Amino acid sequence: MQVEASLLQARQWLSEGLFSEAYEMLLSLRRQFEQEAPAPALLLDMWRGLLTLAQARSDARLVQEVVPKMLQAGRDQFEFDSSQMGSLLHHAGQALAAIGAGSDAETFFMQAYRRLPDTPKARYDYGLQLAYFYASYGHVDQALRWAKDAAGKAGNPDELMLAHRAICCLYDAQGKSLEAAGLRQQGQSSMPDQNPAWLLIDQARSQRRLGLASRADGLYREAVGHLPDSDKARIYREIALNLLSRRDLGGAEAALVEGMQWVNPVSFEGQLLRAEQARLWQFQGRFAETEGVVQEILALWCERFAPHHPLCLRLREVLVELSILRRDWLQGLARAQDLLRVSSGAYGGEHPCVSRALFWMAQVWLYEGEREQAKVALMQAQMIWDEWADYAEVERALIHFGMGLIFADELEFYKAEDEMKKSCDLIEQRGLGDQALVLGHVLSARGDICRITGRDRQAQDCLQRSQELLRPKK
């Protein structure tokens, strides 16, 4: 009974996000089970708990160790029970996907899919899950196929709406924002009695992708009034990001403060809002305040998840950027190297997280005048993105931008302008949205290069558009 109580307590801690406590309890049980073999069901519960923990922490080593042991315990427990094994295979796939082992995850997901009950409901649910999986790895076409298949098996209006929302997001990822907006409008007109909040939010996201930030803001504001209090903080964070895309720094900060009213500041959602607020302070030149909050939240998330969790890596990127803004190249290089060490150590050398780290290494080297090292890092980053992501246009755009700056520094202006054009084209394929600021900076650099090469009309067009995008909104 003591073992059962310990497993129950560990599961409770996992559900509450108390990962350290759950980890210690499960490790204690593991040591106990190594000395005396438990009932198969208890052993399986222990491995399940450890895998859930490893997935939550993005602990690649522990995931790889636990998956085969959990599946073996499952085979010992369930033998030929296909549905139960299907559930375990799905769990294994989710954990492997969380650590970037996409190929292995896909194998387990497909094995789980073959064990599903042959019912529309089961196929609908799993089709959506597969759509989200493929989307997370940048395989938009495959994701869209599974999302449309799920929509065809929807059993009620709510299920159909959820599938359509997924399809709309994928259309957005493909740059088909008009198709997405049309489908969202169709959903709103076909289900007038439904709570309009999420339909409004989806429409806001479409308008945001199209660069219509003012229209998106109105839709977001209307949606908030229909949301339960528990969801308001998350949407105020989106409102802030939308306002930031318009250079409305005051409005963005006000939205974040409003979002804080609906959440406990020490909760995970509260920490997300504080992290966004810190990024806003960075735009305002309040570097010391940004650094303090980012370091605080990074320490909390490294403990809660793992140092290589994607959220932690993004905060490490902010620290690199802060060093660049302060012109502290030595600190920036050290932080970029740490970012590369943590990401490559956890995910291997061919992962998007590694590509982002290489991009930041290149930024530091570029500012230091180490052009050749910067060029090599950017080329490595581009090779990774070309292999991984079907829709990572923004990331590749940044790489082309960096290469353009290098060529400009080498006085190879026609090569530089070609890279800048590629960068602009990639961003505009997806619509402006949150990338308006990035596009503004790229157009500014492209305009300068066109002026140097004597293309005054094109230079004027680029610089005028850049000013419109970068001008702070009142």
Nearest to 100 by CA among 310, 298, 305, 392: 310
Q: Are 426 and 400 in contact (CB under 8 A)?
A: yes
| Band of residue 391 on the pLDDT scale cut at 50, 70, 90 | very low
Nearest to 441 by CA among 402, 407, 412: 402
| Band of residue 104 on the pLDDT scale cut at 50, 70, 90 | confident
Neighbouring C-alpha atoms within 13 Å toward the C-beta of 109: 23
What pLDDT is recorded for position 434?
Answer: 56
Q: Please give the share of the chain, as a percent, with pLDDT higher than 90.
A: 11
What pLDDT is recorded for position 429?
Answer: 67
| Band of residue 320 on the pLDDT scale cut at 50, 70, 90 | very high
> In Å, what is the CA distance from 339 to each residue of 198, 350, 389, 397?
36, 15, 21, 21
Higher pLDDT, 376 or 102: 376
pLDDT digit string, tens, across residues 224-252: 888 888 888 889 998 998 888 777 888 88
- Domain positions in the chain: 210-302
Question: Exposure string (b/e) for 420-451, b if CB count within 10 Å is 16 or more?
Answer: bbbbbebbeebbbbbbbbbbbebbbbbbbbbb
* H or E segment to which residue 178 belongs: helix 177-190
Q: Are 200 and 226 in contact (CB under 8 A)?
A: yes
**Rounded to two decimals, what is the model's pTM?**
0.69
Mean pLDDT score, 84-100: 84
Rounded distance, CA 270 to CA 276, Å?
10
- Phi, then psi, of 137 in degrees rounded to 5: -100, 10
pLDDT digit string, tens, across residues 173-206: 666 767 777 777 666 555 544 556 777 787 787 7
For the chain, how long is the longest CA-to-CA vector?
Answer: 82
Q: Are 224 and 232 in contact (CB under 8 A)?
A: yes
Helix (H, G, I), strand (E, B) or coil at 220: helix
Q: How many whole angstroms from its chain centre is CA 196? A: 26
Q: Are 117 and 83 in contact (CB under 8 A)?
A: yes
Rounded distance, CA 160 to CA 76, Å?
39
CB atoms within 10 A of CB 415: 16
What CATH superfamily is the domain 210-302?
Answer: Tetratricopeptide repeat domain (1.25.40.10)
Cβ partners under 8 Å of residue 428, min gap 6: 439
Listed range (230-244, 392-406, 427-441) with the worst mean pLDDT: 427-441
Length of the chain in terms of residues written: 474
